[in-house]
């Protein structure tokens, strides 16, 4: 075996054997994912607690026309506040994560998340509850759900980036599941205040733990390079790869090559950023294509109706004829399936690719929505147990497709397609689109289901049918590439290539790295063709 083949084999083994430090950072950041999943999901179980309706003088009785209409407006407004706060938070994090850094922005977001949860759990009137939802949306949706996958993508090695960043989706849906089962357990309490207050107040635990752990996290090495702190950046990279006195030389070589690539690409990005404005995101062709892909990813995922179906799942099961605690149990089982699906998603995304996952997922969701609409039209309001059970089956099949192929993939794809200097703004834009869509869909959902019933599914069927071919023909694949090399798929220049180098090219690159480290080389690597270094 040649030296180059030996290095590449060792590198492959290394990136598949993730270091404890790398995994620890990813999991610590996943506390933000858990915060989002629990905080977003808990409202669904709250809607299954009769004591919550009773305390705020709301009703689930459609014959009480005036109060029922008011209740639907409050439910829609509750979700609109959360999503609206998320939109504002996404705009904030696009600025703060570049200006303050990834780590300091976490320190801003987590205390606000704690305050939002406390206001919801301790609400004495509906206005206080809505303010808590707004703050929760700003911090949890706007800041944490943007920052976590961004941060994870910047500290993950290329070959396992999909798996590591997918843990955001896995733990996020674990938060959904946890919230659902806590809601089920509290439903059986004889204390009416405990029934709905305890599940809401639990949401402060995860951001509190994250606030304690954040000072021990390293800063993103790519952000440090962008702020002209190469020594600090190298220390982080070396620790991420576990380099030390007893490190395999091939592993140390890989760490040096990765750092060399990111440092040179950051310098090139800084030169480009010097003359850019906010509008450059939409005017420059390579950036514009990224923005379109980000838009279609998040808008397409939300346009499958996922958050509408989950957020109102208890009400949907009630509409299918289930009563008592059964709708809450079904909702909890639903998100448990989603949690397992997200883990499957994390295991396959680096194998079959991001684009393939989205295509399979959207196709499966589309088919399930068609069957669900037809069954709802035929059997809602009837006593046909077979037809109603079939409706539940297709809701579960729907979440299986979404969880296994779409959910985690959306965060992975949008966090990796943007270059370092616009990654936070690009991902913030992605999540802003997601939650603008959420506002429109969730705000309208209670009234839509009450007025047009199953026909509301037609909106999601049509939009998914439109989005699917756009993903198939417009999206580039990004699996296996470093964050720096992904730019080439969108038409940008890549200064240093590491993927698929020949033995001779890798040897030359290693020599250049050593020479530059000794101060004997020029400031950049000249590239003669994609994947070719001289």
pLDDT value, residue 518: 58
pLDDT value, residue 519: 57
pLDDT value, residue 472: 94
CA distances from 448 to 302, 445, 453 (A): 17, 5, 6
In the chain, which residues have pLDDT < 70?
Answer: 1-17, 243-249, 311-316, 319-320, 381, 498-503, 505-506, 515-534
Domain boundaries, the chain: 3-227+274-488
> Which SS3 state, helix, strand or coil, does residue 321 take?
coil
From 37, 4, 512, select the one nearest 260 (Cα to Cα).
512
Q: Which residues, listed in sequence order, are joined to residue 533 by a DSSP beta bridge? A: 527
Quote the DSSP letter at residue 140: I
Could you read off the pLDDT of 93-117 as tens digits, one per residue? 888 888 899 999 999 999 999 999 9
Quote the DSSP letter at residue 76: H
* Cβ–Cβ under 8 Å, residues 438 and 305: no
CA distance 53 to 51: 5
Q: From the DSSP assignment, how many helices (H) and strands (E) are in the chain?
A: 25, 2
* Cβ–Cβ under 8 Å, residues 176 and 339: yes
* Cβ–Cβ under 8 Å, residues 495 and 266: no
> Which SS3 state, helix, strand or coil, does residue 381 take?
coil
CA distance 310 to 42: 11
Model-level pTM?
0.75
CA 306, 418, 268 angle in degrees (round to 5)?
175
Question: Which residues, at least 6 apart from 444, have a Cβ–Cβ distance to it below 8 Å?
Answer: 76
Could you read off the pLDDT of 441-494 as tens digits, one per residue? 877 777 777 777 778 889 999 999 999 999 999 999 998 888 888 888 998 877
Q: Indicate the CATH number for domain 3-227+274-488.
A: 1.20.1250.20
> Which SS3 state, helix, strand or coil, does residue 423 take?
helix
Reported for 229-233, long-range contacts at CB under 8 A and 24+ positions apart, including other chains, are 230/263, 233/259, 233/262, 233/263
Quote the DSSP letter at residue 524: S
């Amino acid at each position: 075996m040649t030296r180059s083949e030996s290095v590449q084999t060792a590198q492959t083994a290394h990136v598949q054997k993730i270091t404890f430090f790398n995994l620890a950072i990813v999991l610590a950041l996943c506390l933000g994912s858990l915060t989002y999943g629990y905080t977003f999901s808990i409202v669904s179980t709250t809607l299954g607690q009769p004591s919550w309706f009773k305390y705020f003088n709301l009703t689930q009785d459609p014959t009480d026309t005036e109060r029922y209409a008011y209740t639907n407006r409050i439910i829609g407004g509750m979700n609109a506040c959360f999503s609206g706060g998320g939109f504002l938070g996404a705009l904030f994090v696009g600025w703060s994560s570049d200006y303050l850094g990834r780590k300091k922005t976490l320190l801003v977001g987590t205390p606000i998340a704690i305050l939002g949860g406390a206001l919801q759990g301790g609400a004495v009137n509906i206005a206080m509850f809505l303010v808590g939802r707004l703050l929760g949306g700003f911090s949890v949706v706007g800041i944490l759900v943007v920052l976590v996958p961004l941060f994870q993508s910047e500290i993950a090695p290329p070959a396992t980036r999909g798996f590591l960043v997918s843990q955001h989706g896995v733990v996020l849906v674990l938060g959904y599941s946890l919230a659902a089962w806590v809601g089920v357990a509290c439903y059986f309490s004889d204390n009416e205040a405990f029934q709905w207050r305890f599940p809401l107040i639990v949401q402060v635990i995860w951001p509190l733990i994250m606030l304690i752990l954040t000072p021990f996290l390293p800063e993103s090495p790519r952000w440090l390079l962008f702020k002209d702190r190469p020594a600090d950046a190298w220390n982080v990279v070396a620790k991420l790869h576990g380099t030390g006195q007893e490190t395999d030389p091939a592993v140390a070589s890989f760490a040096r090559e990765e750092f060399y690539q990111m440092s040179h690409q950051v310098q090139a990005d800084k030169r480009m950023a010097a003359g850019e404005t906010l509008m450059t995101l939409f005017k420059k062709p390579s950036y514009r294509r990224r923005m379109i892909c980000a838009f279609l990813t998040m808008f397409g995922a939300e346009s499958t109706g996922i958050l509408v179906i989950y957020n109102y799942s208890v009400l949907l099961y009630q509409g299918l004829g289930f009563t008592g605690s059964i709708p809450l149990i079904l909702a909890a089982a639903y998100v448990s399936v989603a949690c397992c699906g997200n883990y499957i998603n994390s295991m396959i995304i680096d194998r079959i690719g991001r684009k393939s996952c989205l295509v399979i997922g959207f196709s499966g969701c589309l088919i399930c929505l068609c069957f669900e609409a037809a069954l709802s039209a035929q059997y809602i309001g009837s006593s046909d147990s077979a037809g109603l059970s079939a409706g539940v089956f297709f809701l579960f099949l729907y979440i299986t497709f979404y969880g296994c192929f779409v959910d985690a993939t959306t965060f992975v794809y949008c966090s990796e397609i943007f270059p370092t200097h616009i990654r936070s703004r690009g991902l913030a834009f992605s999540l802003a689109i997601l939650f603008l869509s959420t506002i429109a869909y969730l705000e309208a959902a209670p009234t839509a289901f009450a007025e047009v019933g199953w026909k509301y599914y037609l909106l999601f069927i049509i939009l998914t049918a439109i989005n699917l071919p756009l993903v198939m023909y417009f999206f580039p694949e990004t699996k296996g590439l470093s964050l720096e090399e992904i730019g080439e798929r969108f038409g940008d220049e890549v200064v240093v290539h590491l993927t698929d180098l020949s033995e001779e090219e890798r040897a030359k690159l290693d020599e250049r790295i050593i020479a530059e480290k000794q101060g004997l080389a020029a400031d950049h690597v000249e590239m003669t063709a994609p994947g070719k270094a001289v």
